Amino acid sequence: MESTHPEISIIIVGYKSKKYLDACLKSIEHQTFYSPEKVEVIFINNGSFDGSIRLIQRNYRWVSTLRNMKNVGVAVALNQGIKYCSGKYVLVMSTDVILEKDYLEKAYKKMEYNKRIAAIMGKIYKYNFNQSGKTPYLDSVGIFSVVDREILSARGVRDEGQFEDSEQIFSVRNICAMYRKDALEDVKIDDEYFDENFFLYLEDVDLCWRLNLFGWKVYFLPELISYHLVDSGKKAALSESQKKERLAFIKNERLMIIKNEFFLTIMHDFWLITKKRFCKKTFFIEGGVSHYLRYLSQIPKAIKKRGKIKKRKRVSRLEMRKWFIRSNNSRYLYYKSKSLYIYAKFPPTY
C-alpha cells in the first residue's frame, strides 16, 4: 500500500497578515511540484483576528489552519506546525513571501540528492508590494558566517552575479527555508525544534548552529528564488516597536552563545565576545532593568539545554571554529568584498 504522506509540508506563521496571503498562497498553488498529494500547507494564525483564516477557508480549502488565541511567538508556532505536519521536508516561509514557480521542485531535488543536508535556502529578493514589484536587491542569501559573533548577510545588496555558487553556509533564514524533518527530529532539545525562549528573531540561526554541531550540513542554492515583500505600511508599523525588537535580537544573541559555544572557544575569544556581545549600551541602558531581568531569568534554561547539546554533539571545537573568523582572515575579506551588510544591526521583518 502506498504511503499517503506528502513529500513537503509548508508552514506559514501569520500575524495580522491577511494583506499578503493571496500572493503567497497563489505562488504555492502555481508551483511545478504542487499537488495536494505531494504538498501540504499549514497556516498558523498567531493570535490575530484579521480575517486570515476566513479568507483561507473561503478561497484556499487545500490549506490547513491552526489558531493560537494569543501571539505565542515565532518559535512556538513553528514547533506546533512541525509536530502537526507529516512531510519528509518542511518549508518554513513568511506570509509576505512569493516563490518562483520551480522553487519546490529544485529544493526537493537537492535535498533528495544529498541526504546530509538538513536545511537549504536560496536567493531572497526584495519585492516592492506598493510600487515596482520584483527588484534586483537581495534580502538574504542566508547567513554566510559569524564574524566576532556578529552575523553577516547580503541584505540590501544589489545582485550583480556575485552569489552564484552553491555552497555550505552557517545558517538559513526562516523567511524562506526548507528543513529535513529527520534532521529536526535528530537535534530537538526538550521536545523543541526551535528554542521557545526565542520569541522573535534568531531562532533559525540558533537551530542551524545546533545542526552544524550535530554534523548536519546547511546549504545555499542560488537557483532557488523567492521574493520578500517590502511594504511602506509595514515599515511604519515596525518603527513603533523597533526598540523592543532590537533588544529581543540582542538578548537572543547572548542566549545562543551560552547554549552552543564551546567553553575553550569562549575563553580564547573572551575579551572579544565580552566587548562585542555583553557590554553594549543598548542592552544594559536602553533595555532597562525589566529587560535585563528577563534575560537573566532565561539563562538557567539555556545552561540546561547547553548540557544536553554538548552531550550529543558530533563535531569538534576546531571544526566549528571555521565559522568564527576574524577581520584579518582571508575569508573575512572574501565576504567583505561582496558588500555584506551587518544583519545584526538591522533585524529583518519576519
Comparing 142-151, 159-168, 280-289, 331-340, the range with the smallest average pLDDT is: 331-340
CB atoms within 10 A of CB 327: 9
Specify the pLDDT at position 144: 74
Q: How high is the pLDDT of residue 236?
A: 47
pLDDT tens digits for 30-70? 999 999 999 999 999 998 889 999 999 999 999 999 999 99
Query: Distance between CA atoms of 265 and 270, rounded to whole angstroms?
Result: 8
pLDDT category, 307, cuts 50, 70, 90? very high
DSSP string, 143-201: B-EEETTEEEE-TT-B-SS-----EE-SB--TTEEEEEHHHHHHH-BTTBSS-TT-SSS
pLDDT-derived band of residue 344, with 50, 70 and 90 as boundaries? very low
Q: Check if the beta carbon of residue 321 is closer than 8 Å to that of residue 267.
A: no
**The three grid cell numbers given for residue 270, joined into one nine-digit string:** 573572551
The pLDDT score that the predictor gives to residue 211 is 98
What CA dihedral angle connects 306, 255, 47 and 234, to 10 degrees?
-140
pLDDT: which is higher, 25 or 239: 25
What's the CA angle centered on 301, arms 71 and 284, to 5 degrees? 75
For residues 287 and 149, what is the distance between their CA atoms, to the nearest angstrom? 21
pLDDT at position 328 is 64
- pLDDT at residue 299 in the model: 94
Does residue 146 have a pLDDT over 90? no
The pLDDT, as a whole number, for residue 222 is 95
Predicted local distance difference test score (pLDDT) of residue 26: 97
Region of poorest pLDDT, from 73-82, 226-235, 331-340: 331-340
Could you tell me how far CA 40 lies from the centroid of its own chain? 20
Question: Which helix (H) or strand (E) covers residue 205, if one does?
Answer: helix 203-213
Average pLDDT, the chain: 85
Three-point CA angle 186, 73, 124, nearest 5°: 75
How far, in Å, CA of 279 to CA of 240, rounded? 25
Distance CA 46, CA 43 (A): 9
Mean per-residue pLDDT for 65-84?
Answer: 95
pLDDT of residue 287 exceeding 80: no
Contact 236, 174 (CB under 8 A): no
Q: For 180-197, what is each residue's pLDDT tens digit?
A: 999 999 999 999 999 999
Mean pLDDT on 300-316? 96
Q: Is 4 helix (H, G, I), strand (E, B) or coil?
A: coil
Query: Is the pLDDT confidence value at 223 over 90?
Result: yes
CA distance linking residue 343 with residue 168, whole number of Å:
19
Which of 31-35, 251-255, 311-315 bottoms out in mean pLDDT, i.e. has the lowest? Answer: 251-255
Considering only 93-107, 137-151, 331-345, which range has the smallest mean pLDDT?
331-345
Task: Say if CB 176 and CB 92 are below 8 A apart.
Answer: yes
Which of 232-241, 260-269, 327-336, 338-347 is modeled with the greatest confidence? 260-269
- The rounded distance, in Å, linking the Cα atoms of 11 and 184 is 14
The pLDDT score that the predictor gives to residue 122 is 97
Residue 242: pLDDT band with limits 50, 70, 90 = low
63-68/39-46 β-pairing:
parallel
Q: With cut-offs at 50, 70 and 90, classify the pLDDT of residue 264.
A: confident
Query: Above 70 in pLDDT, residue 281?
Result: no
User: For residue 128, what pLDDT is reported?
Assistant: 83
Residue 334, pLDDT above cutoff 60: no
Q: Residue 335's pLDDT band (boundaries 50, 70, 90)?
A: low
Q: Which long-range contacts (CB under 8 A, 24 or more apart) does 155-163 make?
A: 155/341, 155/343, 155/346, 155/348, 156/341, 156/346, 157/338, 157/339, 157/340, 157/341, 159/123, 159/125, 162/338, 163/123, 163/138, 163/220, 163/222, 163/338
**Per the structure block, which three cell numbers stand in for 17?**
497578515
244: its cell numbers: 523592543
pLDDT exceeds 50 at position 349: no
CA dist 322 and 238 (Å) reads 35
